[in-house]
Amino acid sequence: MVMAMALVGCGGGNDPRDAARAPVTTLSPTVAPETATSTVPATSLSTLATAREPSVDVYASPVQPEPARQLENPQPSGAAPGSTYPLRMLVVEDRGDWLKVLLPIRPNGSSGWVRRNVVDLESHDYRAVVELGEHRITVWKGDEVLLQEPVGVGASGRTPTTQGLFYTTELFEVLPDQQGAYGPYAFALSGYSEIHYSFGEGGTGVLGIHGTNDPSGLGRDVSNGCIRMSNAAITKLAKTLPLGVPVEIKA
């Protein structure tokens, strides 16, 4: 799906085709779910849960009688104003009838429990790590490195890239007139900027990984929070990765 983008300040200071193989609404949390802090083991399979119903009840734990919150399906896209995407959640624990999932909402790292019978599940063995200090992204398939290269990240003293464990929620093919800032493709992540709560026309401050037509920004602290890659690299990932790929962003 070719769309206008409103990712969090990804254009930075210099001035995605929707795939069932790559933001999100900002729900005000009246009951805060527990926060997930674990990372994904190097060779584990990852499982993406996609909602089947018009809404999904999210519980603080499997023994709670009432849900802590309810998420709508589809979700409004935080990166493409006026569009929506199916509610997608990354499974971090499987207890049979119950699944612990990461949620694509503020605050970052929110998690909760959903019933297995309200979602469809897909598994894969891709994962990615972004090392901010090294200005580097590494993408694995199983225990083999699929791609490793320099990236541009958020300006550390002003608009740092949010750290944590996130996952890809959407993939866009970028409109030609926006490819200077975003390159040809952009993945939206489940996480948000801690600085920007809106950006552009209708953006919600969602984080993204995208290309750039200005390779001089690679290997530097240049963006308003998003992660910039070369256009060749983001095109490779767009044509290879499923949605629901865990992305750990760390110092």
Q: How far apart (Å, rounded) are the C-alpha atoms in residues 225 and 155?
A: 7
Average pLDDT on 125-151 reads 98
Q: How far is CA 77 from CA 133, 149, 225, 233, in A?
A: 30, 28, 18, 24
Average pLDDT on 150-155 reads 97
- Does residue 200 have a pLDDT over 70? no
- How long a stretch of residues is the chain? 251
* Helix, strand, coil in percent for the chain, rounding step 5: 10, 45, 50
C-alpha closest to that of 104 among 165, 47, 62, 59:
165
Average pLDDT on 148-177 reads 94
Question: What does the pLDDT read at residue 157?
Answer: 82
Reported pTM: 0.86
**CA quadruple 137, 224, 105, 182: dihedral positive or negative?**
negative
The two tokens of residue 59 are 């519980």
Geometric angle at alpha carbon 228, from 132 and 87, rounded to 5°: 95
Q: How far is CA 163 from CA 33, 79, 139, 250, in A?
A: 19, 19, 17, 5
Pick 125 or 5 by higher pLDDT.
Answer: 125
* 33 close to 111: Cβ distance less than 8 angstroms: yes
Condensed to tens digits (0 to 9), the pLDDT of residues 13-46 reads: 333 322 333 332 222 222 333 444 445 556 589 9
Burial of residue 225 (number of CB atoms within 10 Å: 0-12, 13-18, 19+): buried
Number of C-beta neighbours around residue 213 at 10 A: 14
Q: How far apart (Å, rounded) are the C-alpha atoms in residues 89 and 80?
A: 19
Return the DSSP state at 160: P
Beta bridge partners of residue 130, listed in sequence order: 137, 249
Give the chain's domains with CATH numbers: 2-21+125-250 (2.40.440.10), 46-124 (2.30.30.40)
Return the DSSP state at 202: T
Confidence of residue 12 (pLDDT cuts 50, 70, 90): very low
C-alpha closest to that of 16 among 3, 30, 35, 31:
3
* 228 close to 211: Cβ distance less than 8 angstroms: yes
Confidence of residue 6 (pLDDT cuts 50, 70, 90): low
What is the SS3 assignment for 51? strand
43's CB contacts (< 8 A; 6+ apart) are 125, 142, 143
